[in-house]
């Protein structure tokens, strides 16, 4: 009986150890992915912002500007390897209580690497012909300390986000990535000649964009915890002289947005720890204990004595 119990315990122990190793090194890694269903709202605020008001045909300065990014997952378009998110960006002049601009993006990306995929009706402000590459709204799961290519929705191409060290945001350790874009022509605009002192009815000016974006990213989940964006968009004449400022200012995520991101990431990290560390560890320890106990019982068991038959 002792040998039988030991054999059963040994088998159960080996099963639990094998299961723990499987959970730790295969199942948990395969199961940890970006969600296909999500709904998040992030807010950035900028003070002392300048921009050209098209309704008043004048430049406004000292403005408080609010940017609201609403991200919603399209679960029906997602798969085991792909997620599809719709992002709506709304820019509002808080000082003068009027809309400045809004835009939309539809992004498809790999659920582990965050790399953009061109499928599923992806578009930038309705333009479905834009070819997207690089990272979209998220950095990879297990973000590394090196540079990444991140898609820029103004330039419509990826730019380099350079790893620039570590930082702590609201008590959370993050990696810092900085993207710097020099003045780059992104299009042309027709404006009334009177705006720049020209006698012509309208004048064609080149639109130039430059900016610096700093992302503080939680490396475990790839989620940006805080963002700072400095942008300058201006209209230049053929000589390269800036004649009108379309937008100039620096915006940063609000404290409430940062707190919400930290709380959400902490919950996600706790779930990841349970799935990838706690459950496999408990299962492995229990398996080793049962295996050791089973071996002990087998080794210490004694055969029942066999009585020799009497010879007559």
The per-residue pLDDT for range 47-103, each reduced to its tens digit, is 999 999 988 888 999 999 999 999 999 999 999 999 999 999 999 999 999 999 999
Structure token pair of residue 310: 């009497």
Predicted TM-score (pTM) of this structure: 0.81
Structure token pair of residue 26: 């295969």
Report CA 61 to chain centroid distance, whole Å: 33
In this prediction, residue 312 has a pLDDT band, given cuts at 50, 70 and 90, of very low
* Angle (CA) 232 125 78, round 5°: 120
Is-contact 17 287, C-beta < 8 A? yes
Positive or negative CA dihedral for 79, 110, 29, 261?
Answer: negative
Q: Would you say residue 308 has pLDDT above 60?
A: no
> What are residue 282's phi and psi, to 5 degrees?
-65, -45
**Side-chain-facing half-sphere of 5: CA atoms under 13 Å:** 7
Strands 148-152 and 172-192, sheet pairing: unpaired
Q: Would you say residue 257 has pLDDT above 90?
A: yes
Among candidates 197, 200, 182, which has minimal Cα distance to 243?
A: 197
Query: Distances from the Cα of 222 to the Cαs of 148, 217, 251, 274, in angstroms?
Result: 12, 6, 21, 18
Among candidates 90, 40, 98, 52, which has minimal Cα distance to 265?
A: 40
Over residues 155-162, mean pLDDT: 97
Tokens 């008001």 correspond to: 53
The per-residue pLDDT for range 102-134, each reduced to its tens digit, is 999 999 999 999 999 999 999 999 999 999 999
């Amino acid at each position: 009986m002792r040998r039988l119990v030991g054999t059963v315990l040994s088998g159960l122990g080996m099963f639990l150890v094998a299961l723990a190793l499987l959970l730790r090194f295969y199942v948990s890694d395969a199961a940890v992915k970006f969600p296909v269903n999500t709904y998040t709202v992030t807010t950035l605020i900028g003070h002392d912002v300048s921009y050209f008001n098209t309704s008043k045909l004048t430049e406004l300065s000292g403005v408080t500007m609010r940017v609201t990014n609403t991200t919603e997952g399209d679960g029906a378009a997602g798969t085991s390897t792909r997620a599809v998110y719709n992002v709506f960006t709304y820019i509002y002049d808080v000082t003068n209580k009027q809309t400045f601009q809004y835009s939309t993006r539809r992004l498809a990306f790999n659920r582990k690497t965050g790399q953009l995929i061109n499928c599923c009706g992806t578009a930038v402000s309705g333009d479905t012909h834009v070819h997207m590459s690089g990272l979209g709204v998220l950095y990879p799961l297990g973000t590394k300390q090196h540079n990444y290519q991140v898609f820029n929705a103004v330039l419509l191409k990826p730019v380099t986000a350079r790893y620039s060290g570590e930082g702590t945001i609201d008590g959370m350790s993050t990696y810092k990535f900085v993207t710097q874009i020099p003045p780059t022509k992104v299009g042309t605009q027709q404006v009334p000649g009177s705006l720049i002192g020209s006698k012509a009815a309208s004048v064609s000016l080149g639109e130039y964009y430059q900016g610096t974006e700093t992302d503080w990213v939680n490396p475990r989940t790839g989620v940006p915890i805080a963002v700072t964006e400095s942008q300058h968009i201006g209209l230049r004449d053929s000589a390269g002289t800036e004649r009108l400022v379309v937008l100039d200012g620096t915006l940063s995520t609000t404290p409430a947005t940062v707190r919400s991101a930290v709380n959400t990431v902490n919950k996600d990290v706790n779930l990841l720890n349970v799935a990838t560390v706690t459950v496999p560890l408990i299962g492995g320890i229990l398996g080793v204990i049962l295996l050791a106990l089973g071996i002990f019982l087998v080794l210490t068991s004694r055969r029942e004595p066999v009585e020799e038959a009497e010879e007559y």
